[in-house]
Structure 1
Amino acid sequence: MEFVLLGLTQNQELQRVYFVLFLLFYVVIVLGNLLIIVTIKYSEVLNSPMYFFLSYLSFVDICYSSVRAPQLIADFLVVRKTFSFGGCMAQLFLSHFFGCTKIFLLTVMAYNRYIAICKPLHYTIIMIGCMCGRIVVASWVGGFMHSIVQILLTIHLPFCGPNEIDHYFCDVCFVVLIMSYVIILVSLRTHSSKGHRKALSTCASHITVVIIFFGPCIFKYLRPSTTFSEDKMVAVFYTIITPMLNPLIYTLRNEEVKNAIRKLGSRKMTLGVK
C-alpha cells in the first residue's frame, strides 16, 4: 500500500540544511527556465528552430524537476517518509515521460545543429516552422509511449517484499544523440579551421548540457551492479542540478539570448514607468 523513502540522509541537522538548499535550487530551476521561455516567446530575434526547441526543453526541465524535487524537499521536514503505491507509480510514469521527452528534444536539437552545420543551404527548407512543431509533438508522443510501456510492465510486478526504497532512477537509450555528433565531427574534417571553430562554438552549449545530463547515467550503468551510497547524489545531480544549470549554460555562452533578456527587461521597465 505504501513505500518508505530513506531519503538522502538520516541526520536531522543535514536535513534542515538540505531543505533550504534544495528549495533554493528548485526556485532557481523554475525561475531560470521560465525566463528562457518568456524571453524566447517575446523576442523578435530568437525565432530560429534552435530557440523554438530550447523553449520546450526549458518547459520539460521544469516539469521533470517538479516530479521529484517537491517530494524530496517535503521529506526533509518529516521523520517517516512514506509514499503511497499510487503516488509512487504516478511519479515513475511522469519521471519516464518527461525524462524521455527531454532526451528526444536533446536529440532533435543535435539533429538541428547537424543540419545547420553540414547542410546550411538546405536548413531553411528542412527545418520549416510546421516541421519543428511536428518534431516537438513527436517527442512528446515518444516520451508517452516509452513511459506507458514502462509503467505497464512495472505494475504487474509482485510488490510483497521490503517496501523501503533507498534510490530512484530511470534511463533511456541515447545512441541517436551520440550518432548525430559523430556525423557532425566527421563532416567538419572537410571544413576550414575557421569553420571548425564556428561549428564547435555553435554546438558548445548543447554538448555541455548533454555531457552534464548523461554523464551521471553513464557512471551509474557502466559500473558493477552493487549498492553504492553515492548513487542517490548522482541521481539528484541530473534531476535537480542539471535543469538548474541549463538556463545558465544557454545564456552565459549566447550573446543573442543575453541581449534578448536585456531588451525584455528594458521593455518591462519602460512599460512600468509609463
Structure 2
Amino acid sequence: MNVPDAYRVSVDEIVSFSQGYESTFIVSSGRPALEAAALLASQEAAGVIVADYGQSGEQYTLIGVVTAREILGLLVRDRDVWRHVMRVASGEISRPAPSLDRRDDLSGLFERMSAYGVGLALINDVRPKAVGLSAVLRYMAVKKPLRSILRNYLASDIRSGPEVLSVRIDQTVLESIHLMLNKGVRRLVVEDGRKILSDRSIIRFLFGSIQNMELARESPERLLNLPLGELAEFLQEPALAGAGDNLETVLNRLLASEAKCCILDDGRGIITPWDLTIKLFQRAVAEARPM
C-alpha cells in the first residue's frame, strides 16, 4: 500500500501533542456502566477506557472502551433504565478498540480505527491512554504536510450523504436514540439544519446533572419522552461549508464550531471528524497507488 509521507508521523508525536486537549479516563470492568456514562457526560473524552489492574497496581489488562453509543444502547434495552445502568458492568458493554504502540504511525492508527469502526484508539503505555479523532484533527490543523493534503480535496469529495438524517423539534429523545442506533450515526440535524443533536448531547442531558440523574432513577420515561425542544441548551450549532470549499477551510470551521461538524450549504451532506480523517486517508491512499 502506498501511503503519502504526511501520514508517516508517529503516534508518539500525536499523543504528546494531544495531552493538552484530550484527557484519558479509566474504569475497571466490574464498575457499573453508570460510572462510564457520568464520565462521558462531564468530561471531554471520546470514550472511557475499561481496564483492570493487577494487585501491584502497575500491570493492567485492556478490556475495551465505552463510548456514547454503548450507553445509548443500554437505554433502549430495558424500561428500568436506572437499574439497568447500575446493574450492567462497564466490561459487559465495552467494545473492542484498536490498541497501538507509540512507535506506530498515523496511517496505522487510521487503518485500525477503520477496521474496528471506532474513532478512538488505546495507546499502550505505563498507564493506558486514549487518542480520539478530535485530537488528531487539531494535530492535522497545524502540520503543514497534512494541511497540504487537505487543500487538495474539496468538501464534495468526502461528505457523508447525499442527504443528512434529520429529526423534528417535536420528536422525542427516545425516538432520536432509536434513529441513531438503527442508522449507525452519531449526529442528527434538528429541523432546518441550524442545530445538531449528537449522542454526546444526549448523554450530557441524561447523566450530566444530579437533577436529571435523579429523574432517570425515579422516572426515566419522563426524560426519554421529552421533545427535543426541551433540550435546547444541549443542541449545538454546526459549521457551514460550501461543496467547493477545500478541506483545510472545512477543518478550520469544524474545529471552531460547537457541534464539531459541518453542514454543506446545499443541504446535501454533512462532514464529520471521521470524514476528515479516515475517509480522507483512504482516498489519499487509493489515489497514491501506482497505475
TM superposition score normalised by structure 2: 0.28
Of Structure 1 and Structure 2, which has the larger fraction of its residues in helix? Answer: 1
Greater relative contact order (Cα < 8 A, sep 6+): 1
TM superposition score normalised by structure 1: 0.29
Of Structure 1 and Structure 2, which has the larger fraction of its residues in strand? Answer: 2
